[in-house]
Amino acid sequence: MIDQAISRVRRNHGLEHATIHILSEKYKGFSAQGNSDHRGFSLNIYGNINEDQVAAAVEEAYQRMKSGEHELAVHPNCGTALLTTATLATLAAQTVFGLEYRRQGKTGNSWSVIFNALPSAVLMVVLAIIVSRPLGLQLQARYTTEGDLGDMEIINVHPVSPSIATRVFHFLLAGGKNNYPPRAYRIKTQG
């Protein structure tokens, strides 16, 4: 039962990404963010894209994935990729500072550790960022998304009220401008 729920989340996550890919192919000047669960996914749109356009993108993404375009399930701006980058960069910096702290032992102070380790920490963070990109995509493809939708079906696409988090993201992404109010959609699936 748990394996089935995880599989549904992964397939919905893949369809969410594929939908964003399709929207990006057709429209410019917008941002999107989504979250998936075992019942479907939510999609927040920050730009001038309406319900019919979202529904058409969901349907096209579904058809293309069913036709074998499984790579649409992976998206470079997914939280999995961002989390991988943040984790590796943090570990890289902490490792460098920790090694410098050990090297100096009780004779050093925090400022000398920071001063001596900072150039190496910056270099290691840059290397971590470079490595994290393909690693994050691989982790996403292997563990958090699924490109084969199996017996999944789309039940409906309908607008929902944007959450507080959606409104905060909109404010941050739009820089306080409100040219296009945030729009939120719920895509329900089964199977």
Please say whether the beta carbons of 38 and 15 come within 8 A. no
**Radius of gyration over every alpha carbon of the chain, rounded to an integer in angstroms:** 21
Using the predicted structure, report yes or no on whether residue 90 has a pLDDT greater than 90: yes
Please say whether the beta carbons of 72 and 29 come within 8 A. no
Whole-angstrom CA distances from 56 to 20, 62, 151 are 12, 10, 20
> How far, in Å, CA of 113 to CA of 116, rounded?
5
Using the predicted structure, report yes or no on whether residue 143 has a pLDDT greater than 70: yes
Using the predicted structure, report yes or no on whether residue 75 has a pLDDT greater than 70: yes
For each of the domains in the chain, give its residue range(s) and CATH number, in order of start: 2-76+145-190 (3.30.980), 79-143 (no CATH)
Residue 46 confidence (pLDDT): 86
| Chain segment 94-111, per-residue pLDDT in tens | 999 999 999 988 676 789
Residue 103 CB contacts under 8 Å (≥ 6 apart), including other chains: none
Using the predicted structure, report yes or no on whether residue 135 has a pLDDT greater than 90: yes
Using the predicted structure, report yes or no on whether residue 15 has a pLDDT greater than 90: yes
pTM score: 0.89
Amino acid at 29: G
| Chain segment 26-74, per-residue pLDDT in tens | 999 888 999 999 999 999 998 889 999 999 999 999 999 999 999 999 9
